[in-house]
Structure 1
Amino acid sequence: MSAARRLATVAQLLAAVVLAGVLVAGVLFPVVGGLGVTARNSASLLDALPVELTDETPAGNTVVLAANGEQITGFYDENRAPVTGDRIAEVMKQAMVAIEDARFYSHNGLDVQGTLRAAVTNLSAGVVEEGGSTLTQQLVKQTLLQTADTPEEAAAATEQTLERKLREARLALALEQTYSKDEILTRYLNIVYFGQNAYGIQAAARIYFSVDAADLTLPQAAMLAGLAQSPTSDDPTVNPEAATTRRNQVLDRMAQQGMVTPEAAAAAQAEPITLVLGAPPPRGCVQATVGAYVCDFVQRHLTQTLGITQEQLEHDGLTIQTTLDPELQRAGDAAVLDTLPMGDSLAGMFTAVQPGTGHLLAMSVNRVFGYDVADPAQESYNLNVAASQGSGSTYKVFTAAAALARQYSQYYTLTTSDPYVSRVYRDQGQPYDVRNAGRYSATLDLSTALYQSSNTYFLALEDALGSVEEPVRMAEAAGLFQFSDPGLAQQIIDENRGSFTFGAQETSPLALASAYSTFAASGTRCLVTPVTGVLDRTGQPLLDAEGQPVVRGDQCTPEAIAPGVATTINQILRRDVEPGNPGQTGSRAYVAGHQIAGKTGTSQNNYSAAFVGYTPEITASVMVLNPKQNEDVGGFGGNKPATIWRAAMAPILEARGSGEFPPADPSVVNGNTRPVPGCGSVDACRSVLAGAGFVPQTQTVDGSAPAGALLGTSPPAGGRAVVGQVVTIRISNGSAYVAPAPQPAPAPEPVPVPVPGPALPPGFPGNPPSIPGLPTN
């Protein structure tokens, strides 16, 4: 041994001797005579323990659970999984005591004899082979270190001063007075660091051997006990020789102390270290086992809405109970990828919520949640929540509902030209007109126009309502704007955007699903919520600063939309999906045997396509679009979106079944309408329409009749309209009139020549007297 090294060892010995002599005195007296060292706190053993050493020792990992209890992921900085003493193998407890504190069961927290023995052993070996601290002292030190909230607190827990040692010793004695030996040992085994970011024996057993702490064998327990002193240098994954040597030292110590027989120790030493490395628990949303984008929404909800800090998530051992439906999530994932490959320029988003609760059920997209911007398949931005493109004619439901709420009835009939020019709305100062995407009957009622998705009818319906305010307020009542700028609805109203009914506004897939779920729930609006409970480390509801649970249940508003309006809309939208309805657009979403309502939508230039479908139990939207730039999606809402919806929902509906929608409300179906009377001229129409309580208004339109000729009314004669409503008298402008060709004069008929017959006697019955003005045979 070199002279310098021997001097260092002698110094350690002297320090140990001094410490051994003063520890007890330092605990009993506030001042250590001659040293001028004052304990930080009262020296009384009756002082209360710091909270860190009672019920605030490091908690386990925060776990995030799906609605069925399946673990999705966790949040943690240090991997911890505390277990009770009965879930730790007895051989593990013996191994730790043997190598770290042989007199553990006989001392009262301080071991003067052990300190001196360790000093002698270390001096003889020339290296530090034994620590002088008891397991109780080590528990104090590690607890204060691992619960430190500031760098200053962490430094105070490890500073090499006599003052810190005295405080540590006093707290160790107090711990021994408060807890049993088994409780102290269990707490120590749950806090000690074993390397590989594994804190505590359960985490270490899973990481190194893929077993629970209760199932550790003698060689495994000895290896883990050996890691406590130097988890880095004795790490078996990088230095198996050092780990083996240290393990064998533990086994020797166990045999010496009679914990195992020499033969058992020798047999264990003969075994090579055999690791069965386990993966650490999933950490964060990137590692979520299912529903990574739901996890992202959950995390933001916890920190931004419920006020739980990220620090709490990573260190407080919370249990987060989410609303995620894993089966629906996996079905949605598969459905999206069956239609659009992972990382395709087009993103397909399936987003589902539960009507009547607002519970977020699933968020699927052909992207992997991740932060590698160079990988087109990775995306950290939650596209299911983002509003990047419009959702087209899905917005027509809000205009239809507004009309029903105005008592227009589902039979409200309009006759429109194609294109139709609005008499109310303008497009940058110019007349606002729309065309239909396909061939439609000029005359439609509200029900047919909605499920067939006539553009011209719905602009005319907006005209009849007089402004866009009622459709926008209906959308607002349904919850469409809950993820938007708070002032957006009023801005649309102030600008009187006639395009509102055609879904030109950028729309969040989640908001779209949520709004339609209000109809599915017969008019009850619920804010989207992804969490049903947050439990603290003891399994009790986490409380806020006012002492109330941070999660206070669903946030729903009954009758946000009149129930009769909602149920009538549902029955109308069933015609868009279920068989037997000519002109329907969502038939590809149909799942046989189930009542399904839905609506398709496609934005201008086909930059996005959407389908929203729902049963009484699940509402799901599907949007397909390029989130980074405009791109033709190659179809309409009844194509890719409806196909994805069916693929996702079919296995769920077939496994679980579904309910039936309530019937339409007869008073809403019929509304406050009356028949539109017929009329034969423009002047006659003005008169009879006014007399029936309507407001007649003429409109010149393209027609094949002569200019000025009456083409009819809109709504037509026999249709239904609301009292006080404008009824348009449609007059031909003659643009398509073709005058008939002149007809040649008819040839004169030949004059018959009378042929004399036999004379009859006067008064004979076959020869009646002639009567002027009647045709004769």
Structure 2
Amino acid sequence: MSAQESRRSGVLGAILGMLGFSGLAGLLVAIMVTPAIAVTGMTANNAVGIFNELPEYATLGDDLAQKVTLYGTQGGQPVPFATIFETNREEVGWDEISQYAKDAAVYGEDARFFEHGGVDMQSIMRALASNVRSGEVESGGSTITMQVIRNINIEAANQLEDPEARKAAYTEAVEPSMDRKLKEMKLAIGLEKRYDKQTILLAYLNIANFGGTTYGIQAAAQRYFGVNATDLTPAQAASLIAIVQYPASRSLESPDNYERNKIRRDYILGQMLKYKSIDQAQYDEAIATPIEPTLTPLNNGCMAASIAPYFCDYVVKTLLNDPAFGETADDRRQAFRKGYDVYTTLDIGAQATAEATMRQWVPSYDDRFQLGSSTVGVQPGTGRIIYMTQNTSFNDTAAGGGPGTSAVNYSTDYDRGGSRGFQPGSIYKIFTLGQWLKDGHGLNEVVTGKPQTWRQSTFTRCGSPMGGADWKPKNDSSSPTNTNVVNATATSNNNAFVDMAQELDICDIRDTAASLGMHTATGEKDGSDMMTVLASVIGGSDDTFAPLTIANAFASISARGLTCTPTGIDRVTTPNGEELKVPNPNCRQTLDPEIADAMIYAMKRTLMGGGTAVASRPYNSVPIFGKTGSTDAYNQTWVATATTSIAGVTWVGNVQGTQAMSRTYINGMAGSRLRHAVQRQLNTQWQTFWGGNDWPEPNRSFLTGNNAPVPDLTGQSVDSARELIESLGFNFEDGGPIASSLDAGLIAQTDPGAGASVPRGTTITVYTSDGSLKATMPDVVGQQTDEALNTLIAEGFSASRVSYSFVEGPPGQVCRVKSSDPAAGAGTTKDAAITLTVISDADGEDPGCP
């Protein structure tokens, strides 16, 4: 077919098509105003059939896709730090739009908008003439109301979850067809019956596409000119309205479109002058204005967040996953599309400090292994997440961002960031400590820290003896044979905690951990499954936890046992100002406050001299406690600290693999020290930011614990003494012989002494008699005092232990011994005190006996 024949065919098709369309349009108007219609011809009959199947009206709802804006707090004021949208739109009210924009829309798109009832026959006929000239069906005479209907259908298509259904619905909404045009006409007329003109025009300005992902007059004004819609000039307003017919070719996103935009803009300005929306001077000024948009970056998504991209991602996943924001996943997605203002718990200043500190100490990439690090802080008593950052840069694109980037949030659980968590190491010992106190034990009780082989059958799990191979854990620090629980905590002595666990039930330790919010990062194990192997009492199981979970446990202890579910959201409002109910932190008392006080008392020692966390101690004196953790292979290292104001945890380790951090140097520092470098710097800043108070001193009962009196073992044999001591939960030690009046080999005394109240586990040292002080009191009655003293000395008694008392007696017996104490023949000791009663003169005074 020749080009000329093709042209004729196109023109003919356009004429016939528009004639048919005009007929249908006339029919449509007739149907709306005439009770009965006489229609002849197949086309008309078909049109009536289609028409009768259409709905009567469309609804202008509040379900347009809008931005989600996240706010943090700085200086007590909310500050936006991230926006997330699939459609860059911000709905505004009638009074928030420049009159120039309203007039540009009406006079540029639909000059008889305020006169017709939704369908403008003059526009349809004008479109017919235009299509005849072009040889194509290029224009359908759509009114503003019909364009609103089309955009409503586009919005509905965009909301569909299934990609194929979404594509099909979008195609149906935009592709030229008689059915679509007829539907738009009928629904436009119905819309005009239901809403006033102002409401329809406002809907048009809020729903229209202005190029790319920018929808609505407010977002367009900000995107292209950096102003609000209420401040648009005539030139700016006309330039924006010029986009809506052909967004792809007239958008101000690209200079390639400027000339096409200007041609349409100038036409709209001419219409505004024609209908006296602007005067000649305003028209001349606007026409002379060059097309020079000032593009404002869209900054869409958490990758573009000004700060805290991983926290941003955590909040977004909460909005899309938490049932508080919709019963089903689709409900939550649809609600998210409609836009939120989300006021988060993030402290902008604290976050900036955490990010800078992380960058200073932990590199984003190490070519030897996959290095990871996270630091996160939680407010005690509320569960509010104050800061959250890690060593990598956030990148959630399909292609990824290469080395040093990650879409995985190391701080959170799998369903909030994709991390499977990390082994906790010795940091888990705090829950063994908590259960020790719950079972009535004390911090001053003595346990053994000596490395040894432990038989699993001597331990209890859920009320029954455990089974399995013997286990011999090692200690990282020196291993005193005996130590109290406070020192064991400060030095993180493995065997001491195993010794403690032998007096507990492994399941009870697990339950104490769960009560303080501990749960595995993957959610694959519930509270009944996790941490029930013997090694778990010192953190040596395969179970993994998120840093946020551990930080929250320390926040719970700091709040004296008040445990809250971590939350990143304080408040959420919808675009229409409705405030939503946010996830409840569910704060509840899960631990006796006095037990928490005792745990804190012990964990304060970890930041003192000799403690494992001393390198994280801040450069000031606000009360603080903490605990370190590392796995056997040192592939994961932790430190957690808390004041009454903030609880924070820093993890540095292997995202995967077993690189030993203790033997790996990073920027000149052992990798196992990096956690302390980060946490110490943060602790110093936090104590300056927020300060903190001290906790109550622990109740004495939690210091002494299960105390018992030392039994009186005097005169018992060594074997019977040992049996009794060990049966009472004490440790036995033979201190050897001492001078005593008891028969040689019998218990003469103990240390601590009989009757002393001491913790079980204390070592009782027994001393046996050597028999050296055993003696019989000689008979010195009737002897002169000097003679009696010499007799006693000769028998081994000490002259310094002899004293005298005087009684009246016969004059001839002066200075003779009348009686002795002990009495003659009585058993006594050679170091005993002896009193001699001596006869004096009549007045009973000392007569000066020799």
For normalisation by structure 2, the TM-score amounts to 0.75
Tell me if 1:264 matches 2:289: no
Residue 303 of structure 1, aligned match among 302, 315, 320: 320
Matched residue SS, 1:328: helix
Matched residue SS, 2:374: strand
CA shift at 1:628, angstroms?
Answer: 2.0
CA shift at 1:136, angstroms?
Answer: 1.4
Per-residue CA deviations over 1:260-292 (Å, capped at 9, x if unaligned) read 234433332233211211212422x33333222
Contact in 2 for aligned 1:331/1:649 (Cα 8 Å): no
Contact in 1 for aligned 2:144/2:201 (Cα 8 Å): yes
Matched residue SS, 2:310: helix
Q: State the partner residue of 1:557.
A: 588
Residue 471 of structure 2, aligned match among 420, 432, 451: 432
CA shift at 1:502, angstroms?
Answer: 4.3
CA shift at 1:17, angstroms?
Answer: 4.0
Alignment of 1:159-238 (within 5 A): 160=176, 162-236=178-252, 237=254, 238=256
Contact in 2 for aligned 1:62/1:313 (Cα 8 Å): no
Q: Please, which runs of 5 or more residues in structure 1 have no aligned partner?
A: 543-548, 701-709, 732-765
| Larger RCO: 1 or 2 (CA < 8 Å, sep 6+) | 1
Matched residue SS, 1:342: coil
Residue 564 of structure 2, aligned match among 526, 531, 540: 526
Q: State the partner residue of 2:19.
A: 14
Per-residue CA deviations over 1:79-122 (Å, capped at 9, x if unaligned) read 22211122222111222212211112222322223333444456
Percent of residue pairs identical: 26
Contact in 2 for aligned 1:413/1:446 (Cα 8 Å): yes
Q: State the partner residue of 1:140.
A: 149
Q: Please, which runs of 5 or more residues in structure 2 have no aligned partner?
A: 413-418, 459-465, 664-669, 735-746, 767-785, 800-850
CA shift at 1:682, angstroms?
Answer: 10
In structure 1, C-alpha distance between the alignment counterparts of 2:601 and 2:188, rounded to whole Å? 72
In structure 2, C-alpha distance between the alignment counterparts of 1:26 and 1:166, rounded to whole Å? 12
In structure 2, C-alpha distance between the alignment counterparts of 1:511 and 1:528, rounded to whole Å? 8
Contact in 1 for aligned 2:449/2:479 (Cα 8 Å): no
Contact in 2 for aligned 1:318/1:537 (Cα 8 Å): yes
Alignment of 1:715-726 (within 5 A): none
Per-residue CA deviations over 1:576-622 (Å, capped at 9, x if unaligned) read 22x5x554633433241422111112221322221111112321111
In structure 2, C-alpha distance between the alignment counterparts of 1:300 and 1:279, rounded to whole Å? 24
Q: State the partner residue of 2:388.
A: 363
Q: State the partner residue of 2:402.
A: 375
In structure 1, C-alpha distance between the alignment counterparts of 2:243 and 2:610, rounded to whole Å? 74
Tell me if 1:645 matches 2:679: yes
Tell me if 1:38 matches 2:48: yes
The size of the alignment, in residue pairs, is: 715
Give the AA of the match of 2:19. Answer: L
Tell me if 1:347 matches 2:334: no
Contact in 1 for aligned 2:633/2:658 (Cα 8 Å): no
In structure 2, C-alpha distance between the alignment counterparts of 1:168 and 1:279, rounded to whole Å? 35
Residue 501 of structure 1, aligned match among 529, 538, 544: 538
- The structure-2 alpha-carbon separation of the partners of 1:225 and 1:647, relative to structure 1 and needing over 3 Å to count, comes to same
Q: State the partner residue of 2:491.
A: 452
- The structure-2 alpha-carbon separation of the partners of 1:682 and 1:84, relative to structure 1 and needing over 3 Å to count, comes to farther
Q: State the partner residue of 1:25.
A: 30
CA shift at 1:367, angstroms?
Answer: 0.7
Q: State the partner residue of 2:667.
A: none
Q: State the partner residue of 1:406.
A: 439
CA shift at 1:365, angstroms?
Answer: 0.6
Residue 243 of structure 1, aligned match among 261, 265, 271: 261
Q: State the partner residue of 1:734.
A: none
Per-residue CA deviations over 1:322-351 (Å, capped at 9, x if unaligned) read 333333222221121111122244222102
Tell me if 1:663 matches 2:697: yes
Q: State the partner residue of 2:429.
A: 396
CA shift at 1:30, angstroms?
Answer: 7.9
Contact in 1 for aligned 2:531/2:541 (Cα 8 Å): no
Per-residue CA deviations over 1:126-169 (Å, capped at 9, x if unaligned) read 78897512111211222123223455654554565555444433
Tell me if 1:60 matches 2:66: yes
- The structure-2 alpha-carbon separation of the partners of 1:423 and 1:132, relative to structure 1 and needing over 3 Å to count, comes to closer
CA shift at 1:12, angstroms?
Answer: 6.0
Contact in 2 for aligned 1:389/1:507 (Cα 8 Å): yes
In structure 2, C-alpha distance between the alignment counterparts of 1:106 and 1:622, rounded to whole Å? 68
Give the AA of the match of 2:437. Answer: L
Matched residue SS, 1:434: coil
Tell me if 1:598 matches 2:652: no
- The structure-2 alpha-carbon separation of the partners of 1:3 and 1:269, relative to structure 1 and needing over 3 Å to count, comes to farther
Matched residue SS, 1:519: helix
In structure 1, C-alpha distance between the alignment counterparts of 2:545 and 2:752, rounded to whole Å? 33
- The structure-2 alpha-carbon separation of the partners of 1:696 and 1:353, relative to structure 1 and needing over 3 Å to count, comes to closer
Give the AA of the match of 1:657. Answer: G
CA shift at 1:689, angstroms?
Answer: 6.7
Give the AA of the match of 1:398. Answer: F
Per-residue CA deviations over 1:653-687 (Å, capped at 9, x if unaligned) read 31333333243233323323125569799953753
In structure 1, C-alpha distance between the alignment counterparts of 2:265 and 2:788, rounded to whole Å? 142
Per-residue CA deviations over 1:146-201 (Å, capped at 9, x if unaligned) read 22345565455456555544443333233333333222211101111121221111
In structure 2, C-alpha distance between the alignment counterparts of 1:715 and 1:360, rounded to whole Å? 50
Give the AA of the match of 1:454. Answer: N
In structure 1, C-alpha distance between the alignment counterparts of 2:452 and 2:184, rounded to whole Å? 86
Contact in 2 for aligned 1:75/1:313 (Cα 8 Å): no
CA shift at 1:541, angstroms?
Answer: 4.5
Contact in 1 for aligned 2:71/2:343 (Cα 8 Å): yes
Give the AA of the match of 1:659. Answer: N
CA shift at 1:718, angstroms?
Answer: 10
CA shift at 1:352, angstroms?
Answer: 1.9
Give the AA of the match of 1:631. Answer: Q
CA shift at 1:299, angstroms?
Answer: 3.2
Give the AA of the match of 2:316. Answer: Q
Tell me if 1:571 matches 2:571: no
Per-residue CA deviations over 1:441-485 (Å, capped at 9, x if unaligned) read 4432212221232233222222343x4333222222222225355
- The structure-2 alpha-carbon separation of the partners of 1:624 and 1:494, relative to structure 1 and needing over 3 Å to count, comes to closer
Alignment of 1:740-759 (within 5 A): none
- The structure-2 alpha-carbon separation of the partners of 1:591 and 1:25, relative to structure 1 and needing over 3 Å to count, comes to farther
Residue 91 of structure 2, aligned match among 61, 82, 87: 82
Q: Once structures 1 and 2 are overlaid, which stretch shifts more, 311-320 or 447-456?
A: 311-320
Alignment of 1:614-653 (within 5 A): 614-634=642-662, 639-653=673-687
For normalisation by structure 1, the TM-score amounts to 0.81
RMSD over equivalenced CA pairs, Å: 4.1
In structure 1, C-alpha distance between the alignment counterparts of 2:528 and 2:133, rounded to whole Å? 84
Q: State the partner residue of 1:461.
A: 500
Matched residue SS, 1:341: coil
Give the AA of the match of 2:39. Answer: G
Q: State the partner residue of 1:736.
A: none
Residue 275 of structure 1, aligned match among 273, 276, 293: 293
In structure 1, C-alpha distance between the alignment counterparts of 2:172 and 2:365, rounded to whole Å? 51
Give the AA of the match of 1:221. Answer: A
Matched residue SS, 2:107: helix
Matched residue SS, 2:639: strand
Tell me if 1:516 matches 2:549: no
Contact in 1 for aligned 2:68/2:84 (Cα 8 Å): yes
In structure 2, C-alpha distance between the alignment counterparts of 1:406 and 1:10, rounded to whole Å? 93
Contact in 2 for aligned 1:613/1:619 (Cα 8 Å): yes
Residue 694 of structure 1, aligned match among 728, 746, 771: 728
Q: Once structures 1 and 2 are overlaid, which stretch shifts more, 448-457 or 135-144?
A: 448-457
Q: Once structures 1 and 2 are overlaid, which stretch shifts more, 99-108 or 437-446?
A: 437-446
Contact in 2 for aligned 1:713/1:727 (Cα 8 Å): no
Per-residue CA deviations over 1:523-564 (Å, capped at 9, x if unaligned) read 12222333344444433255xxxxxx5x35222332x22221
Give the AA of the match of 2:488. Answer: A
